[in-house]
Structure 1
Amino acid sequence: MSKTSHPPRFVLLRYLSGVLLNRVLFSCAVLVGLLEILALLEQTTPILQRHLGIAGILTYAGMRLPFLMAGALPLSLLIGALVMLSQMTLASEMAILQASGLSMLGLYKRLIPATLIIGALGVVLDDQVTPRSEQALAAWWNRTDPHPEKGHAFWFHEGRQVARVTYVADGGNMLSGLDIYSRDEKGLLQEVIHADRADYTHANGWVLHTVKRIQINDPTATRLPSEEQRNWQTTLHPWDFIRLSTENPPLSSGTIIGMLRGHLPSDSSPGFLQAGLLERFLRPAAMLVLLLIAMPVIYIPPRTGTRSWLPVWCLGAGLLFIVAQGLLRAMGNAGLLPPPVATVPGLIIFTLGAATVLLRNEAK
């Protein structure tokens, strides 16, 4: 009797996981399609002005796809879970499962594996795919720019050196207006180097052109003879300058750890990097919170049907969670909150809130 009254665990797990993944991927495809259209509406004119044609439009859309997918996954999970659970509730599937002994907690536990798969996909997109695609997009965009001199200047530090670049051209292979400030162990200025241009070749590395140097010997400064060319000993490559010239580029965890340890050049604060790293690996936990926020739709009254406002309230709560996490992360980026405070409390607060709503409905 017990075998016939309770659905086999793994059969139900596969069914629920398959339905959830199907709904989430469909929602993600719709959202990414809309975001791609909006992005192309903004960028089609500049692409055509550069005479890149249809191939340029397709290249831009393809390179932008991982970034849009990574951003759309949390909302896709929320919408997909709401659609799935609402359909099952209105079709009396939830009533049948509950009558067979499946509790709310049991349903949630069977949806966890699919949710973690989606969260792991988001981590892979954020950590490996998006940084590469966005860097390739930035290099392609810079290489095809007919007026790179309109690009913005930026600062960065590498070891004991602080440098400024006026603008980057040729996909990162040419730097214009390079200033390098070298410091000693105490942080005191030792040397200033100015180069009108720096070119990168695979054979010779970085070569500075029209170089002017000032040697600092406290309390005097000596202007050294100018040089037409000079090799620049640095570990940086063209793609590093493309990354540095881009505002808030996606970074892999390896790059972030290298920046925090001082092995890679950085123009971001340690708090910004730590918050980004922590938020990335808490992505699966955030997905589980969104799934928990969507769970109350299983309590839609049968007579209410599609007229129920419960899915709308759950959707609003999920959007509030996403917005709250974004605001806390922004405060962490600005240095107003420590990285753990900018990422963890939102997860705890919304988990407790959603769990309270579920327990109150379960007790009725």
Structure 2
Amino acid sequence: MKTQSTAPTHVLLRYLSGMLFGRVMFSCAILVGLMEILALLEQTTPILQRHLGVTGILTYAGMRLPFLVAGALPLSVLIGALLMLSQMTLASEMAILQASGLSMWGLYKRLIPATLLIGVMGVVLDDQVTPRSEQALAAWWNRTDPHPENGHAFWFHEGGHIGRVQYVADGGNMLSGLDLYTRTPDGLLQEALHADRADYTHARGWQMRTIHRIQIDGNKTDRLPPEDETIWQTSLHPWDFIRLSAENPPLSSGTIIGMLRGRLPSDSSPGFLQAGLLERFLRPAAMMVLLLLAMPVIYIPPRTGTRSWVPVWCLGAGLLFIIAQGLLRAMGNAGLLPPPVATIPGLIIFTLGAVTALLRNEAK
């Protein structure tokens, strides 16, 4: 008897989860395809100017794909859930399920596994796949740049050192205009070093060339004789400088934790890093909120059909949630809000709003 009673539940769970997963992946494929086309329209000319040809276009599109998929997943969950629930409601499937005793909350519970799976996929993409693909893309783009001197300068800090690089070339293996400033434990400037360039080799590490040093001891300043070359004792690698030279590159959780503990160089504030880490692991919860915001479409009146405005209102609520989360995150990045305040309140507010709307419809 137990097997007979649970079998229909498992069948319904597989049916609903499979349908939701399929709709979300279909929506994601369309969104990613559109974003790929827009990205290629912007980058095809520079790629062809570098004489990379069709291979370069395909390389760029392939390396950019994980970043686009990770960015499209939240909106895909919203659109996929709206498509699935609207189709089921208009086809009277929801009426049949409700007549068989399935409540609105029972339906939501059976959609949770697929939503969590999609959320975990987003976390894996954000945390492991996207940082690697974007770093490989940045290194390839830098290596094929015929004019790397047009790149922008950037600052970084590593332990007690502050550094500045004029530009990066050869996929991160050559640094031009390297400045290093060493501080005392009290934060006072102890030494300033300038190297015209630094080259990386696997055998010897970083080799600085044409070095000028200034040492500071209290009120005394000494300019040391120039050096032709010397080895730079550092744990940094070419891929670290590729990451530092990029604007807001995706970071893995291990890299973020290393930056927060001072083991890895960083050009971001601790609040920015903490907010990014917290938001990443709250991604499944955000997917659950988006699913909840799509649920009111099951109350579309049968006579209204496709003329109902309920899907439009649900889509607007989901977009408002995505925008609000982005604004709160931007305020957290700017240091105006603590990381928990920049990530958690939006989830709670929109969850309460969606639950209120569902309970009102359920009471009618």
**TM-score clears 0.5:** yes
Give the superposition deviation at 1:8. Answer: 1.3
1:252 matched residue in structure 2: 252
| 3-state secondary structure, aligned to 1:303 | coil
* CA-CA distance at 1:310 after TM superposition: 0.4
**Matching residue of 1:233:** 233
Give the TM-score normalised by structure 2.
Answer: 0.98
Structure 2 distance, partners of 1:76, 1:192, is 51
What is the SS of the residue equivalent to 2:231? strand
SS of the counterpart of 2:162?
strand
Decide whether the 8 Å contact of 1:7 with 1:100 is kept in 2.
no
Structure 1 spans left out of the alignment, 5+ residues: none
Does the aligned pair in 2 maintain the 1:152–1:167 contact within 8 Å? yes
1:220 is aligned to 2:220 = yes
The code of the aligned residue for 1:287 comes to M
Indicate how the Cα distance of structure 1 residues 95 and 4 shifts in structure 2: closer, same or farther if over 3 A, else same.
farther
Contact 1:6 1:101 (C-alpha < 8 Å) held by counterparts: no
Map of 1:65 onto structure 2: 65
Distance 2:263 2:210 in 1: 29
**For each residue in 1:190-239, what CA deviation from the matched residue of structure 2 results, as whole angstroms up to 9, or x when unmatched?**
11110000000000100000000111111111001110001000000000
Shift of 1:9: 0.9
Alignment check: 8 A CA contact 1:24 1:80 kept: yes
CA distance in 2, matches of 1:181, 1:268: 18
Cα distance in 2 between the residues matched to 1:68 and 1:184: 44
Q: Distance in 2 between matches of 1:250 and 1:178?
A: 25
- Superposed CA deviations along residues 110-152 of structure 1, whole A, max 9, x for unmatched, are 0000000000000000000000000000000000000000000
Match of 1:303 in 2: 303
Query: Does the residue aligned with 1:212 lie in a helix, a strand or coil?
Result: strand
Shift of 1:331: 0.4
Residues 232 and 15 of structure 1, relative CA distance in 2, 3 Å threshold: same
**Which residue of 2 is the match for residue 210 of structure 1?**
210
Q: CA deviation at 1:5?
A: 9.9
**Do the aligned partners of residues 92 and 220 (structure 1) sit closer, same or farther apart at CA in structure 2, a change above 3 Å counting?**
same
% identical aligned pairs: 83
Distance 1:39 1:231 in 2: 41
1:95 corresponds to: 95
Give the Cα separation in 2 of the matches to 1:216 and 1:83: 68
Residue aligning to 2:271: 271
Give matches, 1:334-345, under 5 Å.
334-345=334-345
- Cα deviation code 1:314-360 (max 9, x no counterpart): 00100000000000000000000000000000000000000000000
> What residue identity is the alignment partner of 2:234?
T
Q: Aligned equivalents of 1:299 and 1:5: distance in 2? A: 28
Shift of 1:184: 1.2
Unaligned 5+ residue runs, structure 2?
none
Alignment match, 1:331: 331
Are 2:47 and 1:51 equivalent residues in the alignment? no
- Inter-partner Cα distance in structure 1 for 2:320 and 2:143: 40
In the aligned structure 2, how far is the partner of 1:298 from the partner of 1:26?
A: 21
- Aligned partner of 1:136 in structure 2 is 136
Which residue number in structure 1 is paired with residue 146 of structure 2? 146
Q: CA deviation digits over 1:270-293, x for unaligned, max 9? A: 000000000000000000000000
Could you tell me how far 1:2 is from its partner in structure 2? 11
Give the TM-score normalised by structure 1. 0.98
**Over the residues paired in the alignment, what is the CA RMSD in angstroms?**
1.4
2:261 corresponds to which letter in structure 1?
R
Letter in 2 for 1:82: L
- The aligned residue for residue 34 of structure 1 is 34
1:56 deviation in Å? 0.2
- Is the CA contact 1:6–1:100 (under 8 Å) kept in the aligned structure 2? no
Amino acid at match of 1:358: L
Cα distance in 2, alignment partners of residues 263 and 138 from structure 1: 23
What count of residue pairs does the alignment treat as equivalent? 364
SS in 2 for 1:149: helix
Counterpart CA distance in 1 for 2:6 and 2:25 is 29
Deviations 1:31-85 (A, max 9, x none): 0000000000000000000000000000000000000000000000000000000
* Match of residue 18 from structure 2: 18
* Counterpart-to-counterpart distance in 2, 1:3 and 1:352: 37
CA distance in 2, matches of 1:314, 1:284: 19
Cα distance, 1:95 vs structure 2:
0.3
Is 1:289 the counterpart of 2:275 in the alignment?
no
Render the CA deviation track for 1:137-179: whole Å, top value 9, x for unaligned: 0000000000000000000000000000000000000000000
| Cα distance in 2 for residues equivalent to 1:231 and 1:186 | 27
| Residues in 2 aligned to 1:354 and 1:146: alpha-carbon distance in whole angstroms | 53
Runs of 4+ in 1 over 6 A off after TM superposition: 1-7
CA, structure 1 residues 28+214, in 2 after alignment: closer, same or farther (shift >3 Å)? same
State the distance in 2 between where 1:185 and 1:95 align: 71
Counterpart residue number, 1:122: 122
SS in 2 for 1:44: helix
